[in-house]
A and B are shown apart, each in its own frame.
Chain A
Amino acid sequence: MDDSRSLVTLAFVVVYLLMCVGVGVWALRRTKSPRDFFMAGRDLGVMVTGLALFSSQMSGFGFVGGPGLVYRMGLSSSWMTVIGPLGFCCSFYLLATRLRMIAELRDTISLPDAVAARYRSERARLLTAVAILLGVLGYLGTQILAMATVLRDVLNNVSFIPEVSILTCMVIACAVLVFYCVTGGIVASVYTDLVQGAIMIVAAVFVFFAALGAVDGGLIGLVTTLVEDDPEVVSPWGTFGMMGSLSWFVVFVLGSAGQPHVITKFMMNRRVEDARRTLPVSAGGYMLCSLLWLSIGLAMRALVIQGGHPELASPDEAAPQFLQFHASPMLAGIVFAGLFAAIMSTADSFLNLGAAAVVHDIPRALYGRSLSNELFWARVATVVLAVGSAVFVLYSRQDLVALLGAFGWGTFAAALVPTVAIGFNWKRATATAANAAIVTSLIVNFGIEVFGLAIPYGITGGFVALLLSTTLFFGISLASPSPTIDPDIEAVMDL
């Protein structure tokens, strides 16, 4: 990268990081209680919630891993992203009003709180908290590593900055993340998400047009090049094939309603009725960001085949290499800031969820009460989780990190779709069924990853886990007598 380009990128990233610190300082004054720290005082407006929802769902994976997948296997991974609006619909239809009402009714400050209230079960609270904590540890580690890797690339491209190690970059990235999460809790997290979401949309739209312009012949030239090389690449199933691609369909649509970092934000809306205007913001924002996911991967594949770019060492280099060689310096700066935004918006949500599980949910499930001075301990837990995840990702075996990272989405989907998304809309659902679904999801997901089981047609392990846990959940509930539900919860479920 030439120096002026590198300096523009660095300037955008520095301004972005300073903005995060500024939001942290501002949010400190608005965070006075655990309810503020975990639930933003249930005072978030439509735009804030809408953009925070989609930016935390998109994550760094959408900006780096997504284009990499498209480069490697064509349109297969569009079954993770093109179906995004339908995924948001599942979350909103099933949970937006229901979770928000239960949050106000019971003054809950976490998802396991709501689960305990729904099922009258501390075991369900504990299992939900454990599933969330396991998923959080994996996700958080991979997000922190991704942040440090991107920062190192940005810094090492500036000629007057001496070589910077991954450890230094991890310290810088963690320091900014921890600062605004500790000072402002979820308030800082969602307001940075607002800015992050806006940056991601702008970046995605500009990149889409830049990608089409980079290939000889525009969109038609791109598609013709790819079809001549391998017609399967631009078919709806890509190179991965029909069954494998379709197994992502239900996992990423229905599974959206089981992602705790997304659905917990429903509990933070100012008014129940705000859900109506929030859905188009989230679904529309996600659709626009999907343009980046698809266009960079296809453009880089076509460029390599046409001879306009050397072959990539790894598919994950598709986005960084495109920005380095085929985008204007200004656009590269915006996208690198957008990339940071995508990673941090997910990491901050996970930090908050993890802290809630450690200081609030698990102690309540085990000892019947949460820690005294919860706000102080929540801040301590945030630091410990961030540092712990960074140390874990630096010093553990990389396959273990990858395993936990892959474990995240599928586990959340298989454990929480039946327990929360279905269970909060169906009064016959029992606590036993919920507990069985969570345990099944943990065993199946871990079993498939640990034993490296190869499923025919490349069908994803998350699909198998979700199918088994949900079928089991319905089966056990239908075979059991109707459970007793607290009258106020039952009244809300009847609305």
Chain B
Amino acid sequence: MPRFQTAISYLLLVLNVLLLFLLIFQEKVVIPSWMQPIGRLHPLMLHLPIGFLIVVGLLWVFQQEFQGESFSKVLGFVLSFTAFTATLAALMGFFLSREEGYIDSLLDWHKYTGIALSFLLYGLNILYQQTKKQKTFFNATLAVSILILTITGHLGASLTHGEDYLFLSKNSEVALIINEDTPVFEAVIQPIFKAKCVQCHNEQKTKGELLMTTLSGLVKGGKNGPIWVAGDAFNSHFLQRANLPLEDKKHMPPKGKAQLTPQEIGILTAWVQSGADVKKPIKALASGDPIQKWIESKNKQQHTTARTYDFEAASTSTIEKLNTPFRTIFPLAYNSPALQADFFVRQAYKPEQLGELSEIKTQLVALNLSNMPIKDEDLNTIAQFEHLEKLILNNTNITGNSLSALSKLSALKSLSLSGTKITKTSLQSLRKFPQLREVFVWNTSVSQPDIADLQKQNKEIHFELGYLPKASEILKINPPILVNEKFVLDPQTPISFRHPLKGVTIRYTLDGTIPDSLSAPIYESPLFLSDYTLVKARATKAQWYASDVVQYAFFKATYRPDSVTLLSEPNSQYKGEGAQTLIDRNKGEASDFKNKAWLGYRENPLEAVFTFTKPIPLKNVTISTGINIQGYIFPPASIEIWGGSDKKSLRLIQRIIPDQPKENQATRIEAYQSKITGVNYTMLKVIVRPVSKLPIWHQGKGQPAWTFVDEVFFN
């Protein structure tokens, strides 16, 4: 070990003398090119003395933790290595410092402190070898060394990473707010330089003597002179370098660094070609200019908008206070001071709610009062919202007489007055509105010629008249709507119709004929029916074609059988509620044959027996069926009514053969009535036979048809 210590002491002495020599004659020293790589290893070497010195400090502080002779030897060993590596690092640093591109003052300080550290550690090493007992002096030197180490390290880091490397965070960079007045140079060109060039051309590291962080640096250029020739991209130095092949040593940015994209080169070229104007604002760009297109697409991708407001934002508490379920106020966007206010639910509107908005009168840019009972005098309140750009007053109670009050709104661009009582005269005051560009006047007394007149006076304003019905276009009105939901007559509930459109005439017939639109009775009040009736109705209105005819069958039900049994099973898919389906007075609908109100038969006829406990003076039996031609549901082939007092005495009363359709017909309910005279029965049997073969014109020709029955009525 002593031999090693001796050797390293001599080595240290030699190296430090060399260092001192170089320092004194630094102006004259020229580093041969083969030695340059040694200098470039400085960033590697410098970490060793930092680490070793920290270990020395720690061992020294905690020396009481260790026992035995070897501790001082270990400490001495580490200390000599600290001094050795520090000297090496200093030498290498010196070589590196001869290369260009660093700021002189910072570099000088780093150089001197680094060399001082090397000397100090050499001294510390000697001090430790010779005077192991003199702790105070050693302590002081060690402390100073660590201090110098810290300073040197910081200076070195400032050189490589920039002077503000320690406390700079991305946050502290002020984001550039780009609007149409921002110069193209700042908005587009500088960000490209910043991303791709300034890593090597900054204040700390100014390769090729070119400083690209400032405008003056850019204009001055590098050691080859100015980097661009305004208006001549072809002869602009930096573009020539950017366009060299990647392998070329002069290609910029150098191989291995982030490269300019073809689009970026295109943008830079376009900018230089157009004169390299550093002041030209974005708005001065011609539309279609490649730079303008680039900004537009960047804006869209980055979700930025050009519109900014320079007034103060309202406080969150004010906005919260003014927000109610019926009056919502919200910022146009995150971080925007501009506010929009909407009113909802006419019933909940109170006049003072509008005035309360004066707390945000500066910030309000859009106000929607659609359908609110706003009166003419309220426009004076609205006139105080100085930055209002869009105002919606559709279907409010204003007459337009006080519209001129709004002329104070110098930013107002869009005004909606549809569905109000405004007049052409009142619209003339809009001439005085400086920014107004669009006015919506649909569904007002204002007419097409009025608009033409107004347009002449106000060329800047577009008046939107909206949809006007064409007299030549006549549409078919929709049919009347039946109010009743039940189709079994009930003396308390007359039959009533309605139509959602005003001014409609409903005409009807009760005799099964088609109501015409001129002579058929007009429906004026609810109809009282006393017996089974087929009601047909249609709606008519001037300027409209008459509606389709709707028909509804209403049934009278006097007697309810005491029991009913089915002698034949319905199809398993349409079993309804069993036999009771036929007498439960629950009518089915032709639109829904799957409903439990229906019984469906196909392969076999419906056969049902109805019994009464005492003989009933029956006048008729009505069988209600459904028809849906496309759904294979046809009128029955035949209906038989049998009567008697018990099963054995049943006799055929009547056989009905319904007319079969010759073509497709409307889906509907159709009833068949059998008259009975003179005999009182206690038992009746009804047989309904489905059509066994569909006619040839039907898509299911040859197949059996369906029969659906929902109810049998006895009167």
Partners in one complex: no
Residues of B within 8 A of A (CB): none
